[in-house]
A and B are shown apart, each in its own frame.
Chain A
Amino acid sequence: MTSDKPTMIEFQDVHKYYSDYHALRGISATIKAGEFFSLLGPSGCGKTTLLRTIAGFEGISSGVVLIDGKDVASVPANQRPTNMVFQSYAIFPHLTVAQNVGFGLRKDPRSAADKARAVDEALAMVGLSGYGGRAANALSGGQRQRVALARALILKPKVLLLDEPLSALDKKLRENMQVELIKLQRQVGITFILVTHDQEEALVMSDRIAVMFEGQIAQLDSPERLYRLPKTRAVANFIGTMNFLSAQILSEAGGLVEVEAQGFGRLQLDAQKQVTGSPSATGATIGFRPETATLLFEGQQATDRETMARVEEVVYYGDMTYYDVLLDGTSAAVRLSMRNVFGRPVLDIGTRTRVGWSPGALVLFR
């Protein structure tokens, strides 16, 4: 796992002010060597600012940034062992593809032939062999991105920084590039740090994700843990969809928490695996993901427990149908996602139905 790898980047209580605006509010985190790490958050959360402090384009107001164990406060951007793929790709429009890719080799002492070979290798790595002589202006969005990647990777940086690199591409191309980026990262073994506002992209690509809100890291975890056991309702809502029902904590003993949850009744939850967050004044909440509960059709038996409900809304997606249902004893609808299986009807609004669920899939936010 990533935990035994050496640290590549370390933030120690990093703050950043833009005059009055507090953009980074005490960031402390470590990023391991060879890790695919994502900074995920809504726009304005400080994720791009944090990335730019690694690149050296932004100074910090206080705290320490270490790259490979070295404090980089006094190291300018052009001497840091990092390279960046910009959101706009920043392909030099007056140069050819090969000149763009080889731009960083200008001061490299190798011979021109060796450099040309390095450029060819970099182009081959991103699947653009033979494109070297083309004008950079004549490339498509996807090709520009590959050129930007080749241009950054040719310098063999310790860390590759990617600032929303896929946001300018259309959906199909974006999904293809996600897979290609993962493969590329495994191939070169360099630490990749990705900034994105797209939670799906972060889940698909990352070894670990730091979810950021308002200049702070709300949670830093593996994609699976972020999805399964989000620390706050805000994180749960930013990553995928989560249903919430109010609950009351009755007792805590022996690693078990007993709660009375709206719609689900009295439950015992595992304090280690199912309870998260810090005690809040607004009261506890039970949360569950749409795919962890299921509609029970005629003849189907619940694997664990079941509750009656009424269908309030139906959203048909082709492969999936989303049902908003009102569980008996609750006042707000919850969303269930059902895979559409051949022969199974799509229910109408107003249908009375059974919902199967399992206490093990629930999460308690204190």
Chain B
Amino acid sequence: MKIPVLRIYTLGYLLFLYCPIVILPIFAFNDSTALAFPLQGFTTHWFDNVWHDAVLAKALKNSLLVAGATAVLATVFGTLAARANTRYKFKAAAPLMGLIMLPMVLPEIIMAMALLVVLLSVGIPLSLFTIILGHVLVCTPFAVAILTSAFQSLDKSLEEAAYDLGEGPFSTFRLIILPLVMPGIISAMLICFTISLDEFIVANFLGSGEPLLSTFIYGQLRSPKNVPNIMALGTILVGVSIFLLALAEFFRRRGLARTGAKDSGGFL
């Protein structure tokens, strides 16, 4: 008999990848502080704990603020870089884009440490603002990648046509380019928001002790009795992340349909 090696490999790979995530909701509803089988019965107690945790509420508020600010800033920078990269041909374009995209592959801990050293030596006190700076650095390459493809699928004649019909560069951008790349912009913002929301290393290095979701979760894990609460919180976060990424993909595809471009495969 022929052994279906590739199928077994694929199945094993997916199990390894998603088992831990499936574990989250199972124990989030399990009526026991111990993460062990057999399950002890159904409860929503842990979700209730999460809901009433004041520190968590504070962490959530901070995280939403940081993620929101990061998403907006990284997307604005990403839009500018992507526009420059697709619209203008200049010699420094390739090395510049390389430098902009580099943080995507640099070890985050090195970047976080280097940033910390710079901030301290310049004398900027650590705060939520410094975390936002770090997150913008991490997220901008993702925004650039998404928006470059959005701008690339724009026919250059559309701009020229608007110009030919009497518009200036700014009104052309506002009336033609912006509406056509808007789905890409929304998609980039959602992805940056998601990345910032669960980022830990930069948040840990550049934070001033103000809790964020990621650092809060890390802190909670030290005490075993809090672990089920984390399971519940994790379940919620996974749900929200999947929702946001699906939304981002929806907007990306709508953008392609709008400009009539061919789908060259999603960023996700």
Contact = CB atoms under 8 A, between A and B. Distances in A.
> Is this pair of chains taken from one and the same complex?
yes
Interface of A: 55, 57, 77-79, 82-84, 86-90, 92-94, 103-104, 106-107, 137, 151-152, 155
B258 A77 contact: no
Contacts of A90: 155, 157-158, 160-161
A93 B165 contact: no
Given A92-B176, A94-B258, A137-B260, A104 B165 contact: yes
Nearest to B182: A94
13 contacts: A55-B164, A77-B164, A78-B165, A78-B166, A82-B164, A83-B164, A86-B161, A88-B157, A90-B158, A92-B158, A92-B176, A137-B260, A152-B165
A202 to B, nearest CB: 22
A304 B50 CA distance: 106
A88 B260 CA distance: 12
A360 B180 CA distance: 61
Given A77-B160, A93-B260, A94-B179, A88 B155 contact: yes
Contacts, number: 59
Contacts of A78: 163-168
B64 interface: no
A57 B160 contact: yes
Give the residue among A57, A82, A93, A107 with the most B Cβ atoms within 10 A.
A93
Contact of A106 (B157, B166, B258, B259): B166
Interface string B177-188: 001100000000
A21 to B, nearest CB: 14
A155 B260 contact: no
B179 A103 contact: no
Interface residues of B, number: 18
A86 B166 contact: no
Nearest to B160: A57
Interface of B: 155, 157-158, 160-168, 176, 179-180, 258-260
A89 B160 CA distance: 11
A137 B162 CA distance: 17
Top 6 nearest A-B pairs (CB, nearest first) are: A104-B165, A90-B157, A90-B161, A86-B157, A84-B164, A88-B157
B165 A103 contact: yes
A93 B168 CA distance: 19
A244 B22 CA distance: 81
Q: Is the interface of B mostly helix, strand, loop or mixed?
A: helix
Nearest to A82: B164
Nearest to A157: B164
A94 B180 contact: yes
A88 B179 CA distance: 19
Contacts of A77: 160, 163-164
Contact of A155 (B166, B179, B180, B258): B166
B27 to A, nearest CB: 47
Contacts of B167: 78, 106
Contacts of B259: 93
A55 to B, nearest CB: 6
Contacts of A152: 164-165
B76 to A, nearest CB: 22
B255 to A, nearest CB: 10
Contacts of A57: 160, 163-164
A81 to B, nearest CB: 11
A131 B259 CA distance: 20
Contacts of A106: 166-167
Contacts of B162: 92, 103
Nearest to B259: A93
A87 B157 contact: yes
Nearest to A89: B157
Contact of A104 (B160, B166, B168, B179): B166
Contacts of A107: 166
Nearest to A88: B157
Contact of B165 (A83, A87, A94): A83
A88 B159 CA distance: 12
B55 to A, nearest CB: 46
Contacts of B166: 78-79, 104, 106-107, 155
A339 to B, nearest CB: 42
A83 B165 CA distance: 7
Contacts of A137: 258, 260
A150 to B, nearest CB: 12
Given A106-B166, A106-B167, A155-B166, A93 B180 contact: yes
A92 B176 CA distance: 7
A93 B258 contact: yes
Contacts of B164: 55, 57, 77-78, 82-84, 152
A78 B180 CA distance: 21
A94 B168 CA distance: 19
A92 B161 contact: yes
A151 B165 contact: yes
A270 to B, nearest CB: 47
A110 to B, nearest CB: 14
Contacts of B160: 55, 57, 77, 84, 86, 90
Nearest to B172: A78
B258 A84 contact: no
A104 B167 CA distance: 8
A152 B162 CA distance: 11
Given A57-B160, A78-B165, A152-B165, 10 more contacts: A78-B163, A78-B164, A78-B166, A82-B164, A92-B158, A92-B161, A92-B162, A94-B180, A103-B162, A152-B164
A106 B163 CA distance: 12
